[in-house]
Amino acid sequence: MKQIRWGFIGCGEVAERKSGPAFNNINGSSVVAVMSRTAERAASYAERHGIKKWYTDAQRLVDDPDVNAIYIATPPSSHATFAIMAMRAGKPVYVEKPLASNYEDCVRVNRVSEETGVPCFVAYYRRSLPYFKRVKKIIDDGEIGRVAYVQVRFTTPPRDVDTLKGDALPWRLNPTIAGGGYFYDLAAHHLDLLQDFFGIIVRAHGYCTNRAGIYEAEDTVSASFCFENGLVGSGSWCFVGHKSAQEDRIEVVGDSGKVSFSVFNYAPIHLITNNRDVLIEEPNPEYVQEPLIRNVVENLQGFGVCQCTSVSATPVNWLMDRILGKF
């Protein structure tokens, strides 16, 4: 069995809780090096997770002969640079979502992947979780009939850290680094799931605004969109709403019923048909990225196919840029 020896570029919160430990849980996969711009952080992560090598320079990690695959867990503005660096070195990439902070950088990544023949995978891990696979099966099995429309509703109150200023402001609220505000970070999951379920969205219109004035990025977004098969949908995202309006729901309505589900809190799936009204529990693994990482590893080992590639991820960036009026 081919051994996939990972080098991490970035070792922050995502690598700590959602993904990092999963790489060592998979047969033929191990983490051999980690990199952070801060030596203290890199050394601490390596020590706590039993990783032998750590770096403060990404190129040195990429050039390490013991590393043959790269995981990129940095903010989106650096994703394209590091992904291209790795692919030019002949090393496959697994990059956090969104693929980049703008659509143009996604195109650059795809071009280099095609030129080099080196694959780039993207961490839209919800596609692989049992919870969302159950939703997809309900839809694909026709339990709600022919789908008529889909709607996304997401509202959450602002966080205490959202009022911080300067360098203390979360990077997710800096459009130069993140691509937008919380919309670019969170709505990416909504929009990727919908395109996994129903195909590519080919038309979209959006309106974004800043209602609370807490930070400079957009805090409220509304959009309408149309899939390539003619299905229409809409979405609303508010990151400064009152706690009484807090909601995390996607609703899919068909001509024989509807199914609704959450994206972030994994509330029970609610299925209503002519003769059923049920709540369905579907637990997820401890490390939520593990099913997708296993799929990536098996692809690199030559006995599996992972569909979460830079090509499949690019329409999400196109759509978010379109909704935010970037072009």
DSSP string, 133-165: HHHHHHHHTTTT-SEEEEEEEEE-PPPGGGG--
- Tell me the mean pLDDT in the region 86-97: 98
Residues 6 or more apart whose CB falls under 8 angstroms from that of 241 comprise: 155, 156, 157
What does the pLDDT read at residue 313?
98
Q: Which helix (H) or strand (E) holds 252?
A: strand 247-254
What pLDDT is stored for residue 31 in this prediction? 97
Backbone angles phi, psi at 73, to 5 degrees: -125, 45
Segments in 141-238 forming alpha helices (H): 175-178, 182, 188-198
The larger pLDDT score, comparing residue 17 to residue 97, is at: 97
| Average pLDDT score over the chain | 97
pLDDT tens digits along 130-188: 999 999 999 999 999 999 999 999 999 999 999 999 989 999 999 999 999 999 999 99
Give the span between the Cα atoms of 291 and 133, in whole angstroms.
11
Residue 18 has pLDDT above 90, yes or no: no
Which pLDDT value is given to residue 142? 98
